Structure 1
Amino acid sequence: MTQATRTWTVLGLEGSANKIGVGIVRDGKVLSNPRTTYITPPGEGFQPKDTALHHRSHVLRIVAEALREAELTSAHIDAIAFTKGPGMAAPLTVVAVVARTLAQLWNVPLTGVNHCIGHIEMGRLITGAQNPTVLYVSGGNTQVIAYSRQCYRVFGETIDIAVGNCLDRFARVLKISNDPSPGYNIEQLAKEGTQLIDLPYTVKGMDVSFSGILTYIEKSANELLAAGKCTPADLCYSLQEHLFAMLIEITERAMAHCGSEEVLIVGGVGCNKRLQEMMEIMAKQRGAKLYATDMRFCIDNGAMIAQAGWEMARCGLFTDLPDTWVTQRYRTDDVHVAWRD
């Protein structure tokens, strides 16, 4: 029996930002996927040190919960996958230390997973998309991606801040709650908006820029609200519409270049129903199909790391213990996607 044909049960650990998650995957089936989120008070972001302390205090409980939900013991685990990057250094380090420790205690191999690749492989698994153009949108990343010759190639990306970071920072201006997430609460408030306020719109070829629109709305929000020219809901609605229109534009351009008939949205911001609605309109106009997932698999989770780790394990792509360091910068297109033709 070869590595590609044997059954692999992989435990994945994700902790690149404010969520610590552990998932278990066996040959294309998600057996468990618990997680917990570090939530800060309204108006505040999450700091690396505090986030790492949160992950340290919860990770072993989540590992035990994942095994219990899957009705497995450590003896059933064939490999451990962990997020190598990109992400915040301190939280990533917590996860890597736990992964190293468990791998040595359980005598199983390790594999370091690119966070974005985890999102893509989970999206492909859950939706059944075969070869989609991918819009990857999260708190720390914004990229348009397409697969070619064993590489996920980046066709366009943000040249400054990620779309999720833009939404999160605007939420602090309005003191919007971080529970369950600022982006989710902006989405709900935006549904009540009726007035579209003109905001900067910056697309540069295949790339986007969000720092200008953020600076503009940060400076003008309180003045507009104080003058009674709009409501908080109008600001949320206007920001979403502009940000998402920019993302749809570059995604459509990539689809046209690739001749793609599928588009997949992954990453935490991909849960946004308005983004999915706008993308579906564009896809239908092109005769293409939209694939998207819900909060269980869109938001950072351990199962997505386990799924990517499963693909890597089948190809014998393991990480030696001295190489299990983490990095805040790990390009999507630096990964050799050996498991795809």
Structure 2
Amino acid sequence: MVIAMGLEGSANKIGVGIMKDGDILANVRETYITPPGEGFLPKETAQHHRSKILGLIKQALKVANIEPEEIDVICYTKGPGMAPPLLTVAIVARTIAQIWNKPILGVNHCIGHIEMGRYITKADNPTVLYVSGGNTQIIAYSNQRYRIFGETIDIAVGNCLDRFARAIKISNDPSPGYNIEQMAKKGKKYMKLPYVVKGMDVSFSGLLSFIEKEAVPDKFKPKNQKRVSESEEKYSDEDLCFSLQETIFAMLVETTERAMAHCNSNEVLIVGGVGCNERLQEMMRIMCEERGGKLFATDESFCIDNGLMIAQAGLEMFRSGTKMNWDHATITQRYRTDEVLVTWRKD
């Protein structure tokens, strides 16, 4: 039996998870929440993580009812992510691994999401849509790599949602994306927005600028100048949230379906924080059913950043014989999904 502890802190979530050969022992997490209209900055986020991580490690051990001696490997998020929060977690992981005399493994954040999703849903070999605050990728497995078939060419879908939430000053508690989702349910009128799909890639920055000018026109134009959209109609914030979701999710469904066709796949797995969105899941499910396929998704316990996903991916790596030298126990802020050799899966 192998027990892995995973530490995650690549963005505003700090989490510790413990996995024992397919059994979840602990999954504890804290979120750094800023006031409405504000994002989270690297320095302050790292300070939050430093104040919480030791308490979370103690809590995870208590919930799991194990002692440090029983742990076989310490796993941490190597990247991608924000450098100061990543460094905070890496330093703690290195420290406890040396104190407890345990091997250490750096885990790719995206692959953590994928392996957690595969574990929870039991999806066999799905086309993966990875959507979060910092990443947007369409992925499929082939020849011991997770291959990226399409991705954002500018900002991530979660970042687009977060920035629009800041523009209209809605709460960041529990998350901007969740609050946009609730407002979108009350939207009645659809506003046509730029739809930017370039082959298999997507773009959100122009769309975001367009809708921000509609939401807060005084910020972007001199007085008495017409709205940039040249629309005489008035849209509520709920209408704009609804329009934003419908447009960006349609872009993601289109590119995911194209990847499914290319890979001859009949499964889709949605992972990442934005993957909790019920409207995205509904649109993707409709597409899958029309193709005779099936959608796999998880709830916020597992799709939002957590330490358990790092423990699960690290457990798979450890059991397949992956080792890491101490010299390599660092962080890589831009750590590509397809850089990782997937030693635990067979073709």
Interval containing the TM-score (normalised by the shorter chain): over 0.9
Which residue, out of 105, 108, 116, partners 1:114?
108
Distance in 1, matches of 2:23 and 2:156, equals: 31
2:128 alignment partner, SS class: strand
Matched, 1:240 2:234: no
Q: Deviations over 1:27-68 (max 9, x none)?
A: 111111000000000000000000000000000000011111
Residue 342 of structure 2 is matched in structure 1 by 337
Distance in 2, matches of 1:121 and 1:30, equals: 14
- The 1:36/1:206 distance shift into structure 2, 3 A limit, reads same
Residue 236 of structure 2 is matched in structure 1 by 231
Distance in 1, matches of 2:336 and 2:216, equals: 37
Q: How does 1:25-104 map to 2 (within 5 A)?
A: 25-104=19-98
Which residue, out of 206, 216, 219, partners 1:212?
206
Is the Cα contact below 8 Å between 1:112 and 1:318 reproduced in 2?
A: no
Gap runs ≥5 in structure 1: 1-6
Distance in 1, matches of 2:209 and 2:33, equals: 24
Matched, 1:327 2:321: no
Please report how far the alpha carbon of residue 222 of structure 1 lies from its aligned counterpart in structure 2 after TM superposition.
Answer: 2.4
Is the Cα contact below 8 Å between 1:163 and 1:243 reproduced in 2?
A: yes
Residue 3 of structure 1 is matched in structure 2 by none
Is the Cα contact below 8 Å between 1:116 and 1:136 reproduced in 2?
A: yes
Matched, 1:263 2:268: yes
Matched, 1:182 2:176: yes
Q: Which amino acid aligns with 1:244?
A: F
Which residue, out of 104, 115, 133, partners 2:127?
133
Q: How does 1:283-302 map to 2 (within 5 A)?
A: 283-302=288-307
Distance in 1, matches of 2:55 and 2:144, equals: 37
Q: Deviations over 1:104-163 (max 9, x none)?
A: 011110000000000000000000001000000000000000000100000000000000
Distance in 1, matches of 2:345 and 2:42, equals: 35
Residue 258 of structure 2 is matched in structure 1 by 253
Q: Which amino acid aligns with 1:289?
A: K
Q: Which amino acid aligns with 1:317?
A: T
Aligned CA-pair RMSD: 1.1
Please report how far the alpha carbon of residue 70 of structure 1 lies from its aligned counterpart in structure 2 after TM superposition.
Answer: 0.6
Q: Deviations over 1:66-123 (max 9, x none)?
A: 1111111111110000000000000000000000000001111000000000000000
Distance in 2, matches of 1:230 and 1:53, equals: 39
Count of residue pairs brought into register by the alignment: 334
Distance in 2, matches of 1:220 and 1:234, equals: 11
Q: Which amino acid aligns with 2:211?
A: I
Residue 7 of structure 2 is matched in structure 1 by 13
Gap runs ≥5 in structure 2: 218-226
1:35 alignment partner, SS class: strand
Please report how far the alpha carbon of residue 176 of structure 1 lies from its aligned counterpart in structure 2 after TM superposition.
Answer: 0.7
Distance in 2, matches of 1:84 and 1:316, equals: 18
2:216 alignment partner, SS class: helix
Distance in 1, matches of 2:101 and 2:112, equals: 24
Residue 281 of structure 1 is matched in structure 2 by 286
Q: How does 1:156-171 map to 2 (within 5 A)?
A: 156-171=150-165
Please report how far the alpha carbon of residue 228 of structure 1 lies from its aligned counterpart in structure 2 after TM superposition.
Answer: 6.8
Residue 4 of structure 1 is matched in structure 2 by none
TM-score normalised per structure 1:
0.97
Matched, 1:221 2:221: no
Distance in 1, matches of 2:277 and 2:103, equals: 36
Which residue, out of 312, 316, 328, partners 1:311?
316
2:14 alignment partner, SS class: strand
1:34 alignment partner, SS class: strand
Ranges of 4+ aligned residues in structure 1 off by more than 2 Å: none
Distance in 2, matches of 1:30 and 1:195, equals: 44
1:98 alignment partner, SS class: helix
Please report how far the alpha carbon of residue 242 of structure 1 lies from its aligned counterpart in structure 2 after TM superposition.
Answer: 0.2
